[in-house]
Amino acid sequence: MKTRKPSSARVEAPAAPPWMWYGSGLAALAVLFWVYGPAIDTGFLFDDTTQQFALPSASQPLSSWIGPVRPVLMFTYWVNTRISMEDTSSYHVFNVLIHALVGIFVFLVIRRLLEWAGAEKSSRTPLAAFGALLFLLHPLQAESVAYISGRSDSLCGMFSCASFAAFLYRRSTAISWAGVLPVLLLFAAAVLTKQQAVVLPALFVLTDFWWNPQFPLRAIRNNWKLYVILALGAAAGLAVSWRLILGQGTGGSAGFALKDFTWYQYLFTQFRAVFAYLFNFLLPIHLTVDWDFPISHGILDHGSIFFLGAWLALAALAWRNRRRFPLACYGFFVFLLLLSPTSSILPIQDPIADRRMYFPILGLILIAIDLLRRLKVEPKVLATAAAALLVAAALATHARAEVWSDPILLWRDTALKSPNKVRAHFQLAFAYFEQGRNDLAVAEFQKTAELKPPTADLLHDWGLAYDALHQPELALAKLRQSAALDSTPQVFTQIAKVYAGQKLWAEALDALSVAERLDPNYAITYLYRGKVYLNSNRPAEALEQYQRALAIDPQVPDGQHDLAIVQSMLRAGR
């Protein structure tokens, strides 16, 4: 099949009237909101709780949000805080709308590529619509849409796909300076949302090379205006991001300084991880927020060499059949290319995550569409099968969104799929604790401790769960173990709280004295000491402690309330 190179001619508009397009778009948006409806009111989950929008600093002005790391992403979160602060509904609505916009750009990209692949005019729009809907409704996308922190991938995907569409729909074969501007601006927005967008220039080069088989180098030279600027920008970006690449400023979660494994061990692991992504595209039954995916410390470990061989064989097959199946083979290399920032040599603490497939899934959809259009079946049968697949995808994604609707459902699902993952059981235990199901929390804390020696944080929360079950001796034992691992004012104030619950005032005051020595500016210490004095009928001393607590933190919980009680007691006693 003969491929086509970019031409100056625009794609002819479909014959359908505008109202049909608007109606179809609104219907698709309604379906999308139904699919993700269970997660719309979900609170902050997992890493959300450590982000600025979930912290007291969320109320600070925009200047405190915008920094060198992902400023475009942070701006959107800041907008959400201005709309609803801790009410997460606006965050989730934004995520769904961003996802819907990406679907429009995916439609445009697929339609242009179908034209270049020589697809019949009558089939381009239906196939592009199917591809866009599959992109929107595939359950593999759920983490990037239902999870507030997943916006980094969907928003980056939106700008990346828009930049790619601007590149594909340029007015002439050789891009003009006017054509360079939107491509660059959207590319910059993508990079400033998430660094993985740096792969876009390579996608542009691949596209020029692939769809101009007779004169690929000439096609690349024709777009020298774009590539020169991108090369200069890449050099500047490398200089700015060098600290992150080395692992500085990432909190030890990524970069070549990662201590858990080397860059080549990460690469060996990715030979297997990419197959896991492919499997979840074809049969999404192992979607999880926290994979239990062992590292391949050697090329033979976990069969990595066989997965490498499989990928090389597939790459050779795709290259050999690039003329016969240009769109499918192109999609194969697009898939690998878009995954490369997170699935190559730059180590990341979690070697696999579902949300990393958000934009790379486009390559697999291109393969599916090229194969679909070649099936020798009646159009009505093909349309019925495609519709059935989309309905199944929508139902599966709706079910996945329900998992994301509640922390217990999410972490119970994760612990079931990753039974040996410490973080999954710890998060499930904490979710039980937060919802007052302390008996279940204690059981999960026990499971966590059996998998790995418990940390100070785990022991701290474990002790609080025992305290909530009115088992003070067990609570004190866990809290003391936590203090032995990490002496903090937080743990000693909790020890004091347990003693106070038993009316052991002297022991409680001793624990608070230790907390004060560790950090004299920790307001909770003085709040709890005030409570001890208040409950042991020493209101004058309680007044002093409440005043100290409020001087440090005017918003300290119960501070104003307890102070008013003490002041009332003192006035009544005069």
Residue given tokens 């339609």 in the structure block: 111
pLDDT score for 247: 53
Q: How many residues does the chain have?
A: 574
Confirm if 138 and 393 have CB atoms less than 8 A apart.
yes
pLDDT tens per residue, range 452-482 = 999 999 999 999 999 999 999 999 999 999 9
Q: Which whole-number Å values give the CA distances from 239 to 66, 243, 502, in the listed order?
A: 20, 8, 59
pLDDT tens per residue, range 68-86 = 889 999 999 999 999 988 8
The whole-angstrom distance between residue 420's C-alpha and the CA centroid of its chain comes to 22
Distance CA 480, CA 474 (A): 10
Distance CA 497, CA 510 (A): 11
pLDDT score for 238: 62
Which residues have CB under 8 Å from 201's CB, separation 6+?
A: 187, 227, 230, 231, 234
* pLDDT tens, residue order, the chain (574 aa): 444 444 444 444 445 677 777 888 899 999 999 999 999 999 999 999 999 999 888 889 999 999 888 999 999 999 999 998 888 999 999 999 999 999 999 999 999 999 999 999 989 999 999 999 999 999 999 999 999 999 999 999 999 999 999 999 998 888 999 999 999 999 999 999 998 999 999 999 999 999 998 888 888 898 999 999 988 877 766 665 656 555 555 555 667 777 888 999 999 999 999 999 999 999 999 999 999 999 999 999 999 999 999 999 999 999 999 999 999 999 999 999 999 999 998 899 899 999 999 999 999 999 999 999 998 889 899 999 999 999 999 999 999 999 999 999 999 999 999 999 999 999 999 999 999 999 999 999 999 999 999 999 999 999 999 999 999 999 999 999 999 999 999 999 999 999 999 999 999 999 999 999 999 999 999 999 999 999 998 989 999 999 999 999 998 888 899 888 888 888 876 5
Q: Tell me whether residue 468 is exposed, middle or buried, using C-beta atoms within 10 angstroms of its C-beta: 0 to 12, 13 to 18, 19 or more.
A: middle
The dihedral through the CA atoms of 117, 118, 120, 121 has a sign that is positive
pLDDT score for 574: 54
pLDDT score for 172: 87
For 522-545, the DSSP string reads -HHHHHHHHHHHHHTT-HHHHHHH
